Structure formats: structure tokens, C-alpha cells
Amino acid sequence: MITLGIETSCDETAVALYDSGKGLIGEAVFSQIELHGEYGGVIPELASRDHCQKITHIFHKALGDTQLSSIDQIAYTAGPGLLGTLLIGENFAQGLALALKKPLIPVNHLEGHLMAPFLGGEKLDFPFLTLLVSGGHSLIIDVKAFNDYEILGQSRDDAVGEAFDKVAKLIGLGYPGGPEIEKIAQHGDPNKFQFPQPMLHSDDYDFSFSGLKTSVLYAVQDLENITQDIQADICASFQQAATEVLVKKISKALIDTGREGIVLAGGVAANKLLREKISTLQESLNIRALYPPIAHCTDNAAMIAYLGSLKSDEATFHIKSHARPRWPLGKK
């Protein structure tokens, strides 16, 4: 069975084809990073316009030599995300479904991230914990089984990727801030600035990143000018504080739940310091850690096509809008 997947929840236009027998057989992604770069963040209206312009080309690129008629079902991200961009993916999916007379499966983007580690055939036994860290989410999820998820912890304010992006902007770096901060942090001293590690000792698995970002702002305001060395020290100290909180909280969740596996997902999962710290944790707790390839950690349609292939019992011929900006994981 071949499932077409479409992803347009934010600033990536992505289409993929997943064959239940052969695995991933086609994939194309266009990232709008350059478009939003000069604004330091995603501008929803510009994102929608760009999805409109790119989606047909990306669809053909992903399709390659595969015949349109061999598509059996169409899965698309219906939320959470930006409503305007979600509607473009949904309308494209619906148009195709009508033309090809194939059923539709609206899927949850977060559930796509949760299942992404398995689309290449990797194995990890349920239950396990997922640390989903991106520009929009900072979540610790107990993945008990397919379709059975419990959010153990989340950010009470900014997502961790959002904090990376805002701090980068504060010190004059480009967007997205995560990779920029990571690069410059290599030359800095992580102990130069004592930035707070919010909620480190709270008795739950929640995060808070806005205070950390504000303390960087205060540090910057106290400086007369930001030399390259100081910029590097800020990056290293901020990265150290942000990753430390993530790792401490996931460590607490692993110990309390007794789970023996962890998956890293979302754009921030690309961060090398975070990966190093998780590797150390893996050794000390004797657990398994799975890092999907970066291309499948960040937003992509392969995870949507794969998830759709697991949900073929939900495929329907009804043309009805399911797009929604908020869609809590596990809810219908």
C-alpha cells in the first residue's frame, strides 16, 4: 500500500511517499528559512503564500517516477500548526483525493514526530519516552504504545527552540538561532555567565525558558558592547543552561517511570551538546537512545506518510475540514 504524505504546518513544504512493503520511496522538502530569516521568525502570511507557490513542484519532485494511480491513500498534517499553512496542505490533499478517488487521513503533526524514529525500520520496544524539542514544542511524552501517549511534561512558556531563536536575535545572530548559537558556542566559555536553569528542581517534568531568555537580555543590557568573545561566551553559557534543564528533566522522567528507551525528536534534537549529554545519560542509566536522522527530526512529510500508513483504518472519502491550530496529542 502506498501512502502519500503532505506536511505544511509551519515553514516546510514537504511531500513524501511511503510504501508499506518497501518503506520510503519518495521525499521532497522545501524549507522557507531564507524567506523568514530577515524577520527573525516565521511570518504566517508569507509562509502561506510560499506554500501555495511551492507545493505542486514539491509534490512532483517527491512523486518522481511513481505513477499517480499507484497512490492508495493520502495523509496530511491537519494540526497543530499555523491555520493558513495547514489549509494549503489540506486543500491540496483534498483536491488530489477527489481527482484520484482515494481516501484521506488527517493526522496530528506531533504524532508524526513520535512515530518518525521507526520509518527507517529501526526498532525500539514500547514503552519509551520521547523528548520532542522544536521551535513550537518542548515536550516529554510517555509513548506507551502506538496510539497511547501521555504528556508528562511541557514548557509553561517559550519552547526551547524559540528561546534559542530569541537569544540569537538579541545578540545579533541570524535565524534560525539554534544552529547559529551552536556554531559560535564552540569558541566560548560555558561557565562565563551564570544563566539560570529554570525549574531544575521542581517536582515535575515541566520546563520554562522565558526567564532564561530574559536573563540573557539583562546580561546584554549590562554590556557596553558585545565583542566576538563575549558573544561566544553568551552562546556557550546559554546553550549549557538550556540543554542541562532538558537533560535533568528527561533523566528524572526516565528514573521515575522506569522506561528503558528514549527518542530525541524536533529541530533542537540536532544540537550536539544535547546529544552528548543524552549519550552520557544513556550510559549511566543503561538505556537505549534513538536519534532519527536530522532530516526526520525536523519537519518532514516522511513521518506523515508513515503515520498515515499505520492509520489506514481511519481513511475516509469525506471532504471535510479538519485543519486546526491546536490539537492536543491523543485527542480525536
Q: Contact residues for Zn ion (CB under 5 A)?
A: 134, 299
CB 304 within 8 A of CB 76: yes
According to CB under 6 A, which residues from 220 to 279 bind ligand KG4? 266-268, 270-271
Alpha-carbon distance 196 to 181, whole Å? 18
Q: Which residues of 299-324 are buried (b: 16+ CB within 10 A; e: fewer)?
A: bbbbbbbbbbbbbeeebeeeeeebbe
Closer residue to ligand KG4 in complex, CB, 82/152? 82
Binding mask 268-287 for ligand KG4 (x = CB under 6 A): x-xx----------------
Interaction partner, residue 135 (Zn ion, ligand KG4, none; CB < 5-8 Å by kind): ligand KG4
Least gap, CB of 280 to Zn ion (angstroms): 26
Closer residue to ligand KG4 in complex, CB, 72/180? 180
According to CB under 6 A, which residues from 114 to 173 bind ligand KG4? 134-136, 161-162, 164-165
Alpha-carbon distance 142 to 242, whole Å? 21
β-pair type (12-19, 23-31):
antiparallel
Binding mask 176-205 for ligand KG4 (x = CB under 6 A): xxxx--x-----------------------
Helix axes 160-170, 228-257, angle to 10 degrees: 170
Closer residue to ligand KG4 in complex, CB, 72/299? 299
Name the phi and psi angles at 317, rounded to 5.
-90, 0
Closer residue to Zn ion in complex, CB, 9/309? 9
Q: Which position's Cβ is nearest Zn ion?
A: 299
Closer residue to ligand KG4 in complex, CB, 2/246? 246
CB 293 within 8 A of CB 24: no
Which listed range, 14-22, 52-60, 141-149, 174-182, lies at the site for ligand KG4 (CB under 6 A)? 174-182
Vertex 143 angle, CA 139 and 148, to 5°: 115
Listing from the earlier edge strand, what are the strands of the sheet with 138-145? 148-154, 138-145, 128-133, 261-265, 288-290
Interaction partner, residue 72 (Zn ion, ligand KG4, none; CB < 5-8 Å by kind): none
According to CB under 6 A, which residues from 9 to 68 bind ligand KG4? 10
The cell for 149 is 501517549
Estimate the share of the chain in helix, then strand, then coil, as percent rounded to the nearest 5.
45, 20, 35
Least gap, CB of 260 to ligand KG4 (angstroms): 26
According to CB under 6 A, which residues from 287 to 316 bind ligand KG4? 298-299
Listing from the earlier edge strand, what are the strands of the sheet with 23-31? 23-31, 12-19, 2-7, 73-79, 104-108
Closer residue to Zn ion in complex, CB, 182/299? 299
Closer residue to Zn ion in complex, CB, 164/193? 164
Interaction partner, residue 165 (Zn ion, ligand KG4, none; CB < 5-8 Å by kind): ligand KG4
Interacting residues toward ligand KG4 by CB under 6 A: 10, 134-136, 161-162, 164-165, 176-179, 182, 266-268, 270-271, 298-299
